[in-house]
Amino acid sequence: MGSCSPLFVLAVVLIGIPFGINEAKLAYDYYKCSCPNLETIVKGEMLSIFLTDATAPAAFLRLMFHDCQVQGCDASILLNSDNSKHKPEMVSSKNFDIRKRESIGYIKSILEKECPGKVSCADIIALAAKESVSFSGGPHIQIPLGRKDSTTSNYQQADASLPPQGIKVHELIHTFASKGMNLEESIAIIGAHTLGVGHCMNIASRLYDPQPNGHTQYGYEGYLRLKCPTRVPLTNFTFVPNDITPTIFDNQYYRDVLMGKGLFTIDSSISTDPRTAPIVRHFAIDQNYFFQVFSSAFVKLSSTNVLTKGKGEVRRQCNRININ
């Protein structure tokens, strides 16, 4: 009698042994019975995306961060307008250039054929992000599953919850402490900046209204001004790589930051703040340790304030709530 058979479940309940999958919370084997091929399917689809778009890993990682930071990892960022008075999160200017939402929807459509009504869009976002880290050379992270999808999405919550471009170190620490992260994990999770690019609209203020405690190499500042020559960018699509290896998940970000080549204000700040500078130096010389701490931070970020049984739903389509 297999562990997923109804008779086994009944036997477990009758003899008083806790069943392996606790529906009231996340679990590493959550889909063992309901969708056993889930991670294999997601991995295969993600590989196809990565091979045709080298920037995709950064996009999926950013998508998860922006989803989780607002009202927990609940796929609220995927909802489109329902013509109600509440505009969805994507209306927020802080979600500028969020990409790959449609790819999550496509993967969901495949999973609906394999396991109809079982896998949440929130779990797909989390799995896509962890595959992005691994494919790019980062750690292989195991995450618990069982998130449910929200039935709400509000741009005002995104405006209030997503970090501002000029976030200070103490604000960063507070933000991630609310997700259960310690100081090291807070500096590790920002290491996700090792992937992707920054848009001029998000760095112009630090170039043309510099802070007195900024730490930017003179030559690098000149490079940034060349890439972003005006206080108000001429277009929204001018960008600068986050570090010199923008498609590889490594610890180059921390090395660059120590050399005064931090792209964002917070990047420069963590290299000089006495609370965080020792951590930055440690991560810069020990990539394995960075990977270890990042993995822990990733699990916490993707597992905090999630919806589980009794809350939320499993959407049939990721961009709209279910209509019964």
Of 112, 276, 131, residue with least CA distance to 191 = 276
Is 238 annotated as contributing to ligand binding? no
Is 89 annotated as contributing to ligand binding? yes
66 is catalytic: yes
Is 112 annotated as contributing to ligand binding? no
State the CB neighbour count (10 A cutoff) for residue 229: 13
The partner residues of 313 in beta bridges, in order of sequence, read 149
What is the Cα–Cα distance from 65 to 186, expressed in whole angstroms? Answer: 13
Is 153 annotated as contributing to ligand binding? no
Is 209 annotated as contributing to ligand binding? no
Is 216 annotated as contributing to ligand binding? no
Is 243 annotated as contributing to ligand binding? yes
Is 273 annotated as contributing to ligand binding? no
> Could you tell me how many residues make up the chain?
324
Is 70 annotated as contributing to ligand binding? yes
Q: Give the chain's radius of gyration (CA, Å).
A: 21
> Which letter does DSSP use for residue 1 in this model?
-
The partner residues of 240 in beta bridges, in order of sequence, read 198
Residue from 66, 140, 170, 199 carrying the catalytic annotation? 66
Is 76 annotated as contributing to ligand binding? yes
> Which letter does DSSP use for residue 35 in this model?
-
Alpha helices in the chain (DSSP H): 6-14, 38-52, 56-71, 101-114, 121-135, 155-161, 169-177, 183-189, 200-208, 218-227, 252-258, 265-270, 277-285, 287-303
From residue 162, alpha-carbon distances to 63, 67, 69 in Å are 12, 9, 6
- Do the beta carbons of residue 244 and residue 252 sit within 8 Å? yes
What is the Cα–Cα distance from 53 to 44, expressed in whole angstroms? Answer: 15
- Do the beta carbons of residue 319 and residue 80 sit within 8 Å? yes
**Which residue numbers belong to the known binding site?**
67, 70, 72, 74, 76, 89, 163, 193-194, 243, 245, 250
**Which residue numbers belong to the known binding site for heme b?**
193
The residues annotated as belonging to the active site are 66
**Which residue numbers belong to the known binding site for substrate?**
163
**Which residue numbers belong to the known binding site for Ca(2+)?**
67, 70, 72, 74, 76, 89, 194, 243, 245, 250
